[in-house]
Amino acid sequence: MKGRICSLKFLVLVFLVQTFMFGCLVFYERKLKMINKWNEDSAKLQKTNKPVNNLTYPVFKHPLAPPYPFPYKFLINQPDKCKNRKPFLVIMVIGQCQDLESRHTIRETWGNVSIYDVEVVMVFLVGLPRIASERTQNVLEEESETFGDIVQQDFMDTYYNLTLKTLMGMEWVTKFCPSASYVMKIDNDMFLNVDYLIHNVLYPDLPVRTNYFTGVIVKNTGPMRSKAYKWYIPNEIYPNNTYPPYCSGPGYVFSADMAKKIYDVAQEIRVISMEDAFMGICLYELQIPPTEPPRNVFNGHKIQYNHCKFRKVATAHHYHGQELRRLWADFLAKKSQKC
Ligand SMILES: *[C@@H]1O[C@H](CO)[C@@H](O)[C@H](O)[C@H]1NC(C)=O
Ligand SMILES: *[C@@H]1O[C@H](CO)[C@@H](O)[C@H](O)[C@H]1NC(C)=O
Ligand SMILES: *[C@@H]1O[C@H](CO)[C@@H](O)[C@H](O)[C@H]1NC(C)=O
């Protein structure tokens, strides 16, 4: 009897493992097929590409390359956000249209810019949802009217297009907030200690730096050449095997003059879908290396919350929703406690 149950269990296990492996195979095959199709399409497209004068590279269309330069339009804008003001810090939060909850959480935690002792401006950067409808757009426009902190352009908001969002941020600062001193780009699943960033990294009492770009610096990496990776970068898009040093995407900060410099240089070079590595390529083209950050201040990984420790960091990754709200309440409540 026992033997029979065991062998039955064994059979079920074998069945499950096989089903799982089959599922993986189907998934992988499908992805491979998709990428092969992309490559075929791009080979066709490339034949019709005409080189354009005064661009370093010819204008280039590859399905894995974000379409750029392209005159994307601002669908939702905050053109007067910085009018007659000189914000010390602009916080650009990266997220998608549908991330309403995370925007509320951020507005009610570290993104409540009224609590800081220097002028801080915050905007949420979004593109178009993959399935865009009039309704979702109306909801977003209403939110923008209520909070006045949403900036949207008309590119499709996908992983491969993330670089377009950062470039939209650079364009926004260049055109609508050139009076700012510093800009922080941050993902919507981060803890951000704005006070520490202001007073212990950027220093409002010192002259504003120029050519400054810092965060968690990534060195000695290169593009993923295997098609099985989500972040696969084909040779035709980026031929070199290494990336110049860059700051890890979830949170980096720079002097506002860099926004225009990066926006300008991005018009002339081939844009790649790795947003942070692309910033590194821009810095390389500009011959402005990233600045080493103070130690342990920017954290691209999750660190265990402890109010004393968090008082001395600028960023920590993977905090959102209720966890971020609870952390923030504790963080504020213990602000004047000794450590
Ligand atoms: C921001 O902080 C102020 C002052 O503490 C508070 O009155 C306001 O309700 C907060 N705003 C949000 C959106 O939580
Ligand atoms: C990127 O955005 C453009 C413009 O909206 C769109 O045509 C393209 O399909 C998007 N690319 C990817 C890979 O999502
Ligand atoms: C890529 O490699 C070429 C040839 O070695 C070099 O001239 C160029 O500066 C490199 N570009 C980057 C972004 O590293």
CA of 99 to the centre of ligand 3 (A): 38
Q: From 114, 117, 143, give the residue whose CB has the most ligand 1 atoms within 8 Å, as the site to mutate.
A: 114
pLDDT at 263 over 70: yes
Q: Collapse the DSSP code of 37 into the 3-class scheme (helix H, G, I; strand E, B; otherwise coil) and give the result.
A: helix
The DSSP 8-state label assigned to residue 27 in this structure reads H
Of 19 and 94, more confident: 94
Q: Identify the nearest ligand to the CA of 163 by its number.
A: 2
30-48, pLDDT tens digit by residue? 555 555 555 555 454 443 3
Calculate the average pLDDT of the chain: 89
How many angstroms from the chain centroid is the CA of residue 290?
A: 17
CA of 7 to the centre of ligand 3 (A): 60
- Taking the C-alpha atoms of residue 170 and residue 166, their distance in angstroms, rounded to an integer, is 6
CA of 115 to the centre of ligand 1 (A): 7
- Taking the C-alpha atoms of residue 255 and residue 197, their distance in angstroms, rounded to an integer, is 13
Contacts of 11 by beta carbon, 8 Å cutoff, 6+ apart:
none
* pLDDT tier for residue 139 given thresholds of 50, 70 and 90: very high
Sorted by where each starts, the structural domains of the chain and their CATH numbers stand as 74-333 (3.90.550.50)
Contacts of 57 by beta carbon, 8 Å cutoff, 6+ apart:
269, 270
Rounded mean pLDDT, 276-302? 97
Give ligand 3 pocket residues (Cβ under 6 A). Answer: 240, 244, 281, 284
- Alpha carbon of 41 to those of 37, 46, 47, 256: distances in Å? 6, 9, 10, 39
Q: From 101, 112, 146, give the residue whose CB has the most ligand 1 atoms within 8 Å, as the site to mutate.
A: 112
The DSSP 8-state label assigned to residue 232 in this structure reads B
Residue 27's Cβ-side half-sphere holds a number of Cα atoms within 13 Å equal to 9
- 288 touches 211 (CB < 8 A): yes
- Taking the C-alpha atoms of residue 27 and residue 16, their distance in angstroms, rounded to an integer, is 16
Burial class (CB in 10 A: 0-12, 13-18, 19+), 39: middle
Of 33 and 149, more confident: 149
pLDDT at position 119: 98
pLDDT at 131 over 90: no
Q: Considering only CA atoms, give the Rg of the chain.
A: 23
How many angstroms from the chain centroid is the CA of residue 218?
A: 15
Of 14 and 73, more confident: 73
Does ligand 2 have an atom closer than 6 angstroms to the CB of 155?
A: yes
Does ligand 2 have an atom closer than 6 angstroms to the CB of 156?
A: yes
pLDDT at position 18: 76
CA of 333 to the centre of ligand 2 (A): 44
Looking at the DSSP bridge assignments, the partners of residue 156 are 128
pLDDT at position 228: 86
Q: Which residue's C-alpha comes closest to atom 14 of ligand 2? A: 158
pLDDT at position 57: 42
pLDDT at position 22: 67
Of 46 and 145, more confident: 145
Q: With residue 254 as reference, give the H or E element that holds it.
A: strand 246-255
Q: Which residue's C-alpha comes closest to atom 6 of ligand 3? A: 240
- Taking the C-alpha atoms of residue 188 and residue 183, their distance in angstroms, rounded to an integer, is 15
194-251, pLDDT tens digit by residue? 999 999 999 999 999 999 999 999 999 999 999 888 888 999 899 999 999 999 999 9
β 120-128/150-156 pair status: parallel
DSSP secondary structure string, 277-337?
HHHHHHHHHHT-PPPPPPTTSB-SS-----HHHHTT-SEEES--HHHHHHHHHHHHHTTTS
Q: Collapse the DSSP code of 171 into the 3-class scheme (helix H, G, I; strand E, B; otherwise coil) and give the result.
A: helix
* pLDDT tier for residue 52 given thresholds of 50, 70 and 90: very low
pLDDT at position 170: 98
Rounded mean pLDDT, 100-106? 97
Q: Give the rounded percent of residues in the chain with a pLDDT score beyond 70.
A: 85
pLDDT at position 87: 98
Q: Which sign does the torsion angle of CA 329, 332, 333, 339 carry?
A: positive
Q: Identify the nearest ligand to the CA of 57 by its number.
A: 3
How many angstroms from the chain centroid is the CA of residue 54?
A: 29
Q: From 75, 161, 168, 232, give the residue whose CB has the most ligand 2 atoms within 8 Å, as the site to mutate.
A: 161
Q: Which residue's C-alpha comes closest to atom 11 of ligand 3? A: 240
- Taking the C-alpha atoms of residue 59 and residue 43, their distance in angstroms, rounded to an integer, is 14
pLDDT at position 104: 98
pLDDT at position 16: 75
pLDDT at 12 over 80: no
